[in-house]
């Protein structure tokens, strides 16, 4: 194991908490960048999922450090809501694709001011 990431303890190998945060930040940034840079609605969707899970990761990591449960419960909620959201979102994307034969969000600009 790389020593500056994890260190040995009585319970076995332990990862330093700030690395979880770093990973979450990286995941979130990748997600945000994907959201801003990609045109395909499906890919944007996946990016959003990535951002959500980055947040989930911070919740769990911080929670385990504090030894509380609220954050972990929140994660369950986020996952449930995300699952529901994916269902609806995918349905919308499928419907849009059938109608417009495209999933590019730049072409879906009907509400342009």
Which spans of this chain sit near another protein (rule: CB under 8 A)? 32, 35-37, 39, 44, 105-106, 108-113
Shortest CB 93 distance to another protein, Å: 12
Give 40 or 74: the residue with its C-beta nearer to another protein.
Answer: 40
Neighbouring-strand partners of residue 12: 9
Task: Work out how close the CB of 12 gets to another protein at its nearest, in angstroms, rounded to a whole number.
Answer: 35
Nearer to another protein, 44 or 75 (CB): 44
Q: How far is the CB of 98 from another protein (least distance, A)?
A: 19
């Amino acid at each position: 194991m790389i020593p500056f990431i994890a260190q040995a303890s009585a319970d076995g190998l332990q990862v330093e908490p700030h690395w979880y945060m770093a990973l979450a930040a990286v995941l979130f940034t990748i997600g945000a960048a994907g959201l801003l840079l990609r045109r395909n609605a499906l890919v944007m969707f996946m990016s959003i999922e990535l951002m959500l899970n980055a947040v989930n990761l911070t919740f769990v990591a911080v929670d385990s450090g504090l030894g509380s449960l609220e954050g972990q419960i929140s994660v369950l909620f986020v996952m449930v809501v995300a699952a529901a959201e994916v269902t609806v979102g995918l349905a919308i994307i499928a419907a849009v694709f059938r109608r417009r034969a495209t999933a590019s969000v730049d072409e879906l600009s009907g509400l342009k001011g």
